[in-house]
């Protein structure tokens, strides 16, 4: 047999399109030609594969070798094609029996001695192989990750010799089995440690219940960061499908998968982060912080310290729940359904409105500082809460607040009501939102007057309705009433202050 075809997959973000490694041997001077839009690391596989085959004791075909990675217009990156290329050469040269790889996909980088090295992005590849109904040969270091795909026969190997012995039937590789990864055991910070700040705690609970975006504003040291860090502790654990989506993003980012299995991500980038670091990109587009926070929390401390153009790139993903990165030769799509939680000081010195210390900023400095947050960005933040300085007697009182477990029960109950309607309130579309709220004529007239007086935008109006619906879910009533509408409008006060 002088023509062989081996199945593998490329890595395009969270997509893993199939690639056929076609190997043809013909008469002529010994040479190897590699085609199919390979980048540098793939071109270098020729030398790795040659050395691996020779050092493992196989015969390297001294003929004219043509390697085609089909489809030809799909970019190929990384060392993941080493093992499929080596198997294709063995199959084309008759060192492997025909048909032994028809129902098998393989991936892995080869060392010069034939050992298999792990590669990134194996989980999306494994999910695609499962859908195709094929088994998957992977480096042993990638076995646990591949087995997360579920009903997939994963065959782990440490060396090329093990793979060949399995295909020849000499030493079959037992399929790798992985029980459900253990849930994270490290305890999360508890809300009971937060003293006072009842309005901020209430806003945190509302945000968790409806997956709403949240902004804390107040002087330094009032507990804004402390409150934000307690949010994961009142959120429900990830479902199995959500955990796989989160793991897939971490897989293509080269991050460990199992340490935080089942726990919602909490990402807190520094304010010096670039736009590419935040939303993703680069020469080879990779996920940014908004994708790493998928199904979790993105916490931006010192929000106005982020460059304005960096914050503005989040506006579209906050609405759509995904990010589309397009470059001259690359295009990637990543999920980005996250909760934005931000904290900021009211002015550069931080003491505007602080009774403990006078503010020394000029009006122009305050205006420039607050102007770093655009109106469209503020419109997308549902809950905007002032976090004032606590009086000393409340700060020193030995009275712990309500713990996270108690709050989480109310959050779970409210989310169950929302999921019974079809989606969390933050993700309801306009028509579905209006139908779920079912406001009376009197409440509609009252809300219209409030919107006119406060000069809120149409987007802010829908944000108010979503928050009011979440408040109704927490209260256990079927639709928002006047009390819930008043509270929801109250969470837009900071919006009016900063835009005024």
Beta strands 154-157 and 135-139 are: parallel
Q: Is 10 exposed, middle or buried (0-12, 13-18, 19+ CB in 10 A)?
A: buried
Structure tokens at 204: 């945190």
Among the candidates 361, 396, 424, a domain finishes at: 424
- The total number of structural domains in the chain stands at 2
The answer on 204 and 126 residing in a single domain is: no
The answer on 315 and 282 residing in a single domain is: yes
The answer on 136 and 239 residing in a single domain is: no
Structural domain includes residue 285: yes
User: Is pLDDT above 80 for 124?
Assistant: yes
Structure tokens at 68: 């085609």
- The confidence score (pLDDT) of residue 181 equals 64
Confidence of residue 1 (pLDDT cuts 50, 70, 90): low
Confidence of residue 391 (pLDDT cuts 50, 70, 90): confident
As a whole number of Å, the end-to-end CA separation of the chain is 77
- The confidence score (pLDDT) of residue 496 equals 55
The answer on 98 and 37 residing in a single domain is: yes
- The confidence score (pLDDT) of residue 497 equals 54
Residue 322 forms beta bridges with which residues? 335
The answer on 219 and 85 residing in a single domain is: no
Mean pLDDT of 17-26: 96
- The confidence score (pLDDT) of residue 390 equals 80
pLDDT in tens, 396-430: 667 777 899 999 999 999 999 999 998 999 998 87
- The confidence score (pLDDT) of residue 498 equals 55
From CA 239, how far away is CA 295, in angstroms rounded? 10
From CA 248, how far away is CA 269, in angstroms rounded? 20
CA distances from 394 to 198, 217, 220, 366, 391 (A): 12, 20, 17, 30, 6
- The confidence score (pLDDT) of residue 455 equals 83
For residue 290, give the 3-state DSSP assignment: helix
Structural domain includes residue 436: no
Confidence of residue 96 (pLDDT cuts 50, 70, 90): very high
Token pair 């399929």 is found at 175
Among the ranges given (113-122, 267-276, 357-366), the one the predictor scored with the smallest mean pLDDT: 357-366
- The confidence score (pLDDT) of residue 254 equals 85
Confidence of residue 350 (pLDDT cuts 50, 70, 90): confident
Q: What CA dihedral angle connects 321, 326, 332 and 336, to 10 degrees?
A: -20
Whichever domain contains 63, its CATH number is 3.30.230.10
The answer on 267 and 147 residing in a single domain is: no
From CA 119, how far away is CA 277, in angstroms rounded? 22
Please, what is the average pLDDT of the chain?
90
Mean pLDDT of 270-274: 93
Structural domain includes residue 500: no
The answer on 202 and 145 residing in a single domain is: no
CA distances from 51 to 55, 82, 393 (A): 6, 11, 74
Structural domain includes residue 267: yes
User: Is pLDDT above 60 for 129?
Assistant: yes
Structural domain includes residue 81: yes
- The confidence score (pLDDT) of residue 150 equals 84
Confidence of residue 270 (pLDDT cuts 50, 70, 90): very high
Q: How far is CA 51 from the centre of its chain?
A: 39
Structure tokens at 101: 């790889």
The answer on 219 and 155 residing in a single domain is: no
Confidence of residue 500 (pLDDT cuts 50, 70, 90): very low
- The confidence score (pLDDT) of residue 318 equals 92
From CA 250, how far away is CA 445, in angstroms rounded? 48
What contacts 19, CB < 8 A, 6 or more positions away? 7, 8, 9, 10, 36, 69, 70, 71, 74, 76, 81, 84
The answer on 195 and 163 residing in a single domain is: no
Structure tokens at 256: 């460990």
Mean pLDDT of 369-375: 86
The answer on 209 and 131 residing in a single domain is: no
Compute the residue count for the chain.
500
Whether omega before 109 lies within 30 degrees of 0, making that bond cis, reads no
The answer on 157 and 256 residing in a single domain is: no
Higher pLDDT pick, 195 / 79: 79
Structural domain includes residue 362: yes
From CA 124, how far away is CA 194, in angstroms rounded? 40
Query: Dihedrals φ, ψ of 45, to 5°?
Result: -65, -20
Among the ranges given (74-78, 125-129, 260-264, 313-317), the one the predictor scored with the smallest mean pLDDT: 260-264
Structural domain includes residue 77: yes
User: Is pLDDT above 80 for 286?
Assistant: yes
The answer on 254 and 140 residing in a single domain is: no
Structural domain including 262 reads: 191-424
Check: CB of residue 267 under 8 Å from CB of residue 294: no
Nearest to 392 by CA among 357, 358, 356, 359: 356
Token pair 């654990």 is found at 237
Residue % of the chain over a pLDDT of 70: 95
Higher pLDDT pick, 179 / 233: 233
Whichever domain contains 274, its CATH number is 3.40.50.300
Among the candidates 424, 446, 477, a domain finishes at: 424
Among the candidates 409, 424, 439, a domain finishes at: 424
What contacts 476, CB < 8 A, 6 or more positions away? 413
What contacts 438, CB < 8 A, 6 or more positions away? 478, 479
Structural domain includes residue 324: yes
Mean pLDDT of 170-190: 80
Mean pLDDT of 15-36: 94
């Amino acid at each position: 047999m002088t023509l062989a075809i081996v199945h593998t997959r490329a890595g395009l973000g969270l997509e893993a399109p199939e690639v056929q490694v076609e190997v043809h041997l013909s008469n002529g001077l010994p040479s190897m030609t590699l085609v199919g839009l390979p980048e540098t690391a793939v071109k270098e596989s020729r030398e790795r594969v040659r050395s691996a085959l020779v050092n493992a004791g196989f015969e390297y075909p001294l003929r004219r070798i043509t390697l085609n990675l089909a489809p030809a217009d799909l970019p190929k990156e990384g060392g993941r094609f080493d093992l499929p290329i080596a198997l294709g050469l063995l199959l084309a040269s008759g060192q492997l029996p025909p048909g032994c790889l028809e129902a098998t996909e393989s991936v892995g980088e080869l060392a010069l001695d034939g050992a298999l090295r792990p590669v990134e992005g194996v989980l999306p590849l494994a999910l695609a192989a499962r859908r195709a109904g094929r088994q998957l040969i992977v480096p042993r270091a990638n076995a646990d990750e591949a087995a997360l795909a579920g009903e997939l026969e994963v065959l782990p190997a440490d060396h090329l010799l093990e793979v060949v012995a399995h295909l020849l039937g000499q030493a079959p590789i037992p399929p790798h089995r992985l029980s459900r990864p253990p849930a994270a055991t490290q305890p999360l910070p508890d809300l009971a440690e937060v003293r006072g700040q009842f309005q901020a705690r209430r806003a945190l609970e509302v945000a968790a219940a409806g997956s709403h975006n949240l902004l804390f504003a107040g002087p330094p040291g009032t507990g804004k960061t402390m409150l934000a860090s307690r949010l994961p502790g009142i959120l429900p654990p990830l479902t199995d499908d959500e955990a796989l989506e989160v793991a897939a993003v971490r897989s293509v980012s080269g991050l460990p998968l199992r340490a935080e299995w089942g726990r919602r991500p909490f990402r807190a980038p520094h304010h010096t982060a670039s736009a590419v670091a935040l939303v993703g990109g680069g020469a080879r587009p990779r996920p940014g912080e908004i994708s790493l926070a998928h199904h979790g929390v993105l916490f931006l401390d010192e929000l106005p310290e982020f460059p304005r153009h960096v914050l503005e790139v989040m506006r579209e993903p906050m609405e759509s729940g995904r990010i589309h990165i397009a470059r001259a030769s690359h295009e990637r799509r990543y999920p980005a359904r996250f909760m934005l939680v931000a904290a900021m000081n009211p002015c550069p010195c931080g003491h505007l409105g602080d009774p403990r210390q006078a503010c020394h900023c000029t009006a122009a400095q305050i205006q420039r500082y607050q102007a770093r947050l655009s109106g469209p960005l503020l419109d997308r933040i549902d809950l905007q809460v002032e976090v004032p300085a606590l009086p000393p007697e409340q700060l020193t009182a030995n009275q712990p607040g309500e713990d996270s477990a108690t709050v989480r029960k109310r959050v779970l109950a409210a989310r169950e009501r929302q999921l019974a309607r079809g989606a969390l309130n933050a993700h309801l579309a306009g028509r579905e939102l209006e139908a779920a709220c079912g406001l009376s004529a009197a409440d509609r007239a009252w809300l219209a007057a409030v919107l006119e007086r406060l000069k809120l935008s149409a987007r802010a109006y829908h944000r108010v309705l979503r928050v009011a619906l979440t408040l109704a879910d927490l209260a256990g009533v079927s639709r928002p009433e006047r009390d819930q509408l008043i509270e929801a409008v109250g969470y837009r006060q900071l919006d009016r202050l900063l835009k005024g």
